[in-house]
Structure 1
Amino acid sequence: MAFQYHIHIMTLFPDVVGDMLCESILGRAQERDIIRIDCHQIRDYTLNKQKQVDDYPYGGGHGAVMQADPLYQCWKHICDEMGKRVHTIYLSPAGHVFRQADAKRLQREYDSLILVCGHYEGVDERFIQECVDEEISLGDFVLTGGEIPAMAVADAVCRLVPGVLSDPECFIEESHWDGLLECPQYSRPEVWHDKRVPPILLSGHHANIAKWRRKQAILRTRDRRPDMYEKLDLSSKADQKLLKEISAEEAEHSEE
């Protein structure tokens, strides 16, 4: 079976990871053979009778380090099965911080990935040097293992595969797609706890609704993520008009 996208996750907890990624949208996409996510138990590839995959670090120190050979044997099995070297990512606090641009790049440039989940004090550097193509981090913090970052990367990449979501607009209009945060969203009922849905969203005037959403996205990005706002290209006539409207509205409110 040829899938549009195939992700392999090397982990010590394949059941937990697999169950999570077989639910909801990704689960339905797998049922329709659009994507496939396989979890591989690293312990199955060790020659140690106790299924040990870690040992004390050379040079001393606390904790243990995942050994290179079980990781390599698991990685080699996947590549042999795929008939090629598969782009391999190690989820690591030392990696570059994952962004939406990375999700788009990984979906665009590859049709399969191997995600390696580390544990303990990390993995033997020699495995990284020989088999890993890039290291990715979720942010400037440390987790007990790589499973949560691997699931996040798998989810972010797979949802961009054509057919996984019902319509490209499901992700094109979301936060981070074009450098903006998404505008506020509302659903029924029209009034909840004395708070009303903005009248413009009830007007049925699609052009005005689109304009309102764009304005709200600009405001939200400016106020919550000034770092993103500084990088925005708002030079179009439509955006310049919105910026003038925003300035005028804020000036009017400040005088009240």
Structure 2
Amino acid sequence: MVCLFRFTVIFRRSCNGYGADKQKLSEGKDLIRFFSIPCKPTKTNGGRTRNLKEHDPNKWDSFVAYNKRDVETEIAIQDKLSKFPMPEAEWDNYFLDQLINDRGIKLDLELVTQAIKCDDLIRSELISRMKEITKLENPNSVKQMREWLQTKGVETDSLNKAAVTHLIETNEGEIKEVLQLRKQLAKSSVKKYAAMENVVCRDGRARGLIQFYGANRTGRFAGRLIQVQNLPQNHISDLDEARALLKQGNFEGLTNFI
């Protein structure tokens, strides 16, 4: 299946072999930066924040020529693509993408807020317990934790997930407890909830989460902003009750429930 967007990219990349009269001028990016992007005011440029035609007539002429070539290139692309009409099924996918993103996905902001609060509380408790045992200023620091382990006769080159799991299996007492706390701390992540807070619209919906043909090589949809396609499966048997406890701020009850 030929995709409009992929064909456009391929054509542009091969434009250098298409003919000098159809090539985009190599200085195009510099010209766009000069005329289309605000400039920093200096004594040399008289304190202006925009470069206009009168500030560099020669560059302006080149900029005009660049835009003419750009239009010619687009026309050439359109001519090439006219021989490969877009399949209706592909248009259906594109329309679906637009429909999803226009409508947006409703977010439960109360749950999002409480999840972040719960995470802050759990992280605080875990770090406090680690400090109590290790007496370290920052027990979450890899350097400080490795040094503390060395004082206990434990040598390790890494504190990644696999290394911590192995050390937990081969140690006892406070060493094992600290490593278990560190493992729990690594699991405590609410990055997606924070992303939801950052991208939610005024109506409580998040938009622009799915991009049509976002994966350039395969043509698949791509996730953006929250990356909803990467949300883990949830196998909690009483999920509604867990959500209710979280929204109520009953974090102790939630811990016992889970």
Shared fold by TM > 0.5? no
Decide which structure has greater strand share: 1
* TM-score, normalisation: structure 2: 0.28
* TM-score, normalisation: structure 1: 0.29
Decide which structure has greater helix share: 2
Report the structure number with the largest CA radius of gyration: 2
